[in-house]
Every structure is written in C-alpha cells, then in structure tokens.
Structure 1
Amino acid sequence: MDSNTLLFFILSLAAGAGLGAAVYYSLSKRNTPSGNTQAEATVLVERIEKVFKVVMAEGYFTEIYNYQHDKSIWNLINDKKKALIIAKAKVLVGYDFGKMRFHVSGSNRKIVIDYFPEPEVLSMDTDYKFYDIEQGWLNRFHSDDYTSILNEAKQTMNEKALQSDLPRIATNQVQLMMFQLAASMNWKVDLQLPESNRKDLAEYTSYRPTDAEIDSLNPRRD
C-alpha cells in the first residue's frame, strides 16, 4: 500500500467516525427530554438503637375520610373546601420486650415474669389518595392542611387497630411462643404479675367476635 492510499484510508476512517459521532449525538439529543431536571437527596442517620420488638399480628385497614371546612366571609359568603380521602394501611402489632421485667430462678429452671407490657402498634405502612378536591376562592388547601388531614387519618387508623382483635391475637401468639420455647428447653414460665398489670392484660387473653361496622360518611366539619 503506497502513501497516498494509506492517507486516503486514514482520512476515510476519520470521516466515518466523525459522521457516526454526529449521528449518535443527534439521536441522543432527540431522545433526551427537554428541560433541565436536577435532583439531590441527603440522608442523615440521627441515631441507631438496639431493640427487641417482635411482630405477632398484622392487619389491613381501609378508611374513607370525608373532610370539609366551611369559612364564612363577613357573614355574607360561605366559602368551603372539601376532599374525599381513601387511606389504606398495613398495621403490625406486637410487643416491645425491652419493656418487660423478669428474673430467672436457675435452681428451678424457671423464668419469672414480673411485668408484661401491653401489645402495641409497632409500625404502620400507609397509602393515601385524595379524590373530589374542591376549594373556594379564598378558602384553599395549603400544605399544612394536607399534613393535618393525614396525621388525623393515621391516628384514627392506630385507634382502630388497637380496638380490633389484633392485640388479642398478638397476646395469644406471644404467650404460646414463650411457653413452647421454654418447654423445649425444659424451662417453665411463671407469670407473677401485679394485680394492675394482670387486669390490663386480662382483656387481651380472650377473643371476642369482630363486628364489621361502617362509619358514617357524613362530612366532618371544622
């Protein structure tokens, strides 16, 4: 291959590479969404704690929350805002064993429970959707309104969970687990609870029929 042919070959490669780069740049620019989107996230770990919490029951709840707020302007105009919120939640109920007090009688191979905590909501995963949002000219929704509505809906979910059979299921589950685990190691569990503690736990040791009730969907007015 003479020098002229080699030079032509190199120039052809360079031209082809340049054309390919131009085509790629044009296509990538065409497929790139217009605008300049920037996102930045900062995660801060405040503290880490050791816990001994055991989930014994989980339940799924749906709440229909009808919100309405009326605002009177000079007693002449009634300006209102309202929204329909459907909230769904997965609630985990169990025990925080860090709150339990006990001592061990090694000679009798016995674990004596001096205080047994009540079941509690350990976590709640929630999902909210807003429907039929209406607002007036002056009485409008703000970020604080949404925060307040969601907090109240979550509090209602928490109360409903504790009023359901979840705490009773959790209590029966944890006692079954403790007695079976102790028996498998030839130990015994002795509940020597104070009278007040025994009374608090008495309502969680037996089941009651779960009645399905439909709450009224009348608007809640502030």
Structure 2
Amino acid sequence: MEASTLVFLMISLVAGGLAGSTLTGWLQKRKTKKYVSAQEATVLIERIEKVFKVVMAEGYFTEIYNYQNDKNIWNLINDKKKALIIAKAKVLVGYDFGKMKFHRPDGERRLVIDFFPAPEILSIDTDYKFYDIEQGWLNRFHSEDYTAILNEAKQTMNDKAMESDLPRIAGNQVQLMIFQLASSMNWEIELKLPDGNVAMLKEFTHYRSVEAQVDSLGTTKE
C-alpha cells in the first residue's frame, strides 16, 4: 500500500471518529434537553388545580418579635442567644366557594344556599428581617431555630388577622356581591342554613377594629 493511501485512510478514520463522537454528543444533549423539558412540564401540570376562591378583604400587619433563649451550663455559665425580628405580612381574606352547598328548585329562578363557609385566610405574603443577633459560644443559632421562629411569627400573623375586622369586612362584601349579582340577573337568593352554620357565621359579624400600631411580642425560652 502506498504511503499516500495509508495517510488518506488514517485521516479518514480520525475524521470519521471525530464526526461520530460529535454527532453522538449532539444527540445525547438533545435527548437530555427533551427529557428535562418533559420533566419540567410534568411538574407544572401537577401543580395546576381548579379553585373557586374570591378575595374580599386585604390587610397589612407588622410585628416586632423578641426572641431569647437561655442555656445554663453546669450552673456556672448562662449562655444565651437572642434576636430581634421584624415581620411584615400582607393578608388576603375571602371565601372558598367550593365549600358552599346550594341547590336550585326545578323551574325557578331561585338559588337556595344550604351551607355557607366561614371567611378564611387565602394567602399570607410575609417578609422577615433579623436584627441584633447575639449568640453564645455553645448556645448558637441553627437552621431549625430560624424555622421555628418564622413559623411562630407567621402563626401570630394568622391569628391577629382572624381576630381583626378583616373577616367582618369580607362577610359584608360577599353578601353584597351575591345579592347584587342575583338581582342583576333577576334571580332570588334564599338562605336556609342550619343553626350551627348561622351561629358560626355570626362569630364573624362582631366588629373588631384593625390595630394599626406595631405590637411587641417578647418570648424567653429555656
């Protein structure tokens, strides 16, 4: 075999190998991209739900949370950690109409409501900032400490929102919306609620003023 022919064959083999490697890599990347895209689409589909929730009132709350934890070491050293947390929240209160029960008498333009749900918090958008963090040599902050503090602060926001005037405002708003909508369509709304349902709804009609001032929550945990 001539030298030129041998060189040509070697170059062809190397070029073919490089081309095959490049093509294989391109195909693998393409398959990987397709697989990732399909996986992401599946995750998105799993998060889609049909809901019928309507926001009727919106409130803003601010809390100053003082956290302190004292740890006594051998009755000789009082090792403590503390932090100041300012928590702010935007609270949306409304109704989940998927929980409402009703029926329509045959041939009538009348809607009979058999059960009406209580107003509830539909979402809480929170923001937290930590200040004046101090910790001892042995008694230090860990991830579970921050999680517990934030969960407690969020629960406090939830409780204060339900104790405020937001549920009453939401109740008045939803009644106005339902009866005005029915009237505009020449429909009649009739409430036939059980006594327990009536009593439950009355709990949210008592006026409670929304506190605008900042409250301080001090806690000491051992």
Bucket of the pairwise TM-score, normalised by the shorter protein: 0.7 to 0.9
Distance 1:211 1:123 in 2: 19
Q: Secondary structure at the match of 1:108?
A: coil
Give the match for residue 185 of structure 2: 185
Give the match for residue 67 of structure 2: 67
Structure 1 residue 48 displacement after superposition: 1.8
Structure 1 residue 189 displacement after superposition: 0.8
Q: Secondary structure at the match of 2:118?
A: coil
Q: More helix by proportion, 1 or 2?
A: 2
CA deviation map 1:18-57 (0-9, x unaligned): xxxxxxxxxxxxxxxxxxxxxxxx9644432100000000
Residues 139/208 of structure 1: CA separation in 2 closer, same or farther (3 Å cut): closer
CA deviation map 1:129-186 (0-9, x unaligned): 0000000000000111101100110011001000000000001000100000000010
Which consecutive residues of structure 2, in runs of 5 or more, have no partner in the other structure? Answer: 1-38
Give the match for residue 130 of structure 2: 130
Residues 211/142 of structure 1: CA separation in 2 closer, same or farther (3 Å cut): closer
Which consecutive residues of structure 1, in runs of 5 or more, have no partner in the other structure? Answer: 1-41
Alignment of 1:60-99 (within 5 A): 60-99=60-99
Counterpart check, 1:57 vs 2:57: yes
CA contact (8 A) 2:67 2:84 kept: yes
Structure 1 residue 216 displacement after superposition: 4.7
CA deviation map 1:54-95 (0-9, x unaligned): 000000000100000001111111100000000000000000
Counterpart check, 1:176 vs 2:179: no
Alignment of 1:144-159 (within 5 A): 144-159=144-159
Distance 1:206 1:148 in 2: 33
1:190 partner amino acid: E
TM-score (normalizing by structure 2): 0.76
Distance 1:209 1:126 in 2: 22
CA contact (8 A) 2:63 2:216 kept: no
Query: Percent identity over the alignment?
Result: 73
Alignment of 1:1-222 (within 5 A): 44-45=43-44, 46-210=46-210, 215-222=215-222
TM-score (normalizing by structure 1): 0.76
Give the match for residue 19 of structure 1: none
Residues 66/208 of structure 1: CA separation in 2 closer, same or farther (3 Å cut): closer
Q: Secondary structure at the match of 1:201?
A: helix
CA contact (8 A) 2:63 2:217 kept: no
2:52 partner amino acid: F
Give the match for residue 3 of structure 1: none
1:90 partner amino acid: K
1:189 partner amino acid: I
Q: Would you say how many aligned residue pairs link Structure 1 and Structure 2? A: 181
Q: Secondary structure at the match of 2:64?
A: strand
Coordinate RMSD, CA, aligned: 1.9
